[in-house]
Structure 1
Amino acid sequence: MWGILLLGGAAIITVWWAVRLVLVDETQRRLPDHLTLPAALGAVTGALLTEPVLILGGLAWAGAYLLGRGIGGGDVKLALSLGVLAAAAGGVTGVLAAVVAASAVTVVRSVVRRGKAVPHGPSMLVGTFIVVFHDTWQGALSHLGGAS
């Protein structure tokens, strides 16, 4: 029972954090340190305590953004935490899928807004959500298949 309560609390905090990031990025066109740095620290710490290789997912996504143009520092810091999460959900493929999905969502949003620049942080969250949801769905299906 305590595990479910802890998981529910973590989910509520994560949703609050993601909504806050989206609202700030959409209105102010920035991802503030007080939202990105604790998440990065938490993701790296969690990975170090459980599966250190997951940090490579965060470093890969953040590193790719450091090399690119037009990506802000907030996006780089967000990429660190989301890359760890995407790696936990789907390994190298999960990180690549999250990056590609985030880019695709940003392009589609820009087309819908007729070429106007759009913040990238919300798209990064959507891309990571897709990877995590897919991994969770696959795990549930395989668990159901194994139970028969």
Structure 2
Amino acid sequence: MGVEVLEPFMSVETITPGDGVHYPKAGDRLTMHYVGTLKSDGTKFDSSRDNNEPFRFVIGAGEVIEGWDVGVMKMSLGEKAILHITHDSAYGDDGVPGAIPPKADLVFEVELLAIGNRIFARKLTAEEEQARLDSFMPAHLLAGASAAKKKKAPNGTKKKKKKKN
């Protein structure tokens, strides 16, 4: 994956590529996950992942810091990236009292989940697919299914299947 330097005050480092087809444009409503940390010491100051509630906003409308408006527009749907943002494109000389110190450079791990109604769908791994299927089956049935596979006849031998005539 590469690092794209957008301006002297920020860069985007791709962790996981997106679809490479759908990119946000000004005015699009985006849905994202993010974790924000201070570049100086890695202290986390905010995260949408803590409560598993994605963040929704309109890109290019000034609803987020400049570093997001610039950096996120370079990401494609489904992409996971690291935004390195200097204070000039974040919260400036003042910071955010109690959360972000003055002149703090920030690092955001971001994931672009949706652009408008277009949601990124990736192929699940075998483990993820099994977990998804298991989530639909009541736990007592899952336990019974695994126990049924291990059942033996009362004398400890395996049951023999009856032959059909």
- Per the normalisation by structure 2, the TM-score is 0.28
Report which of the two structures shows the higher radius of gyration computed on alpha carbons. 2
Which structure shows the higher helix fraction? 1
Which structure shows the higher strand fraction? 2
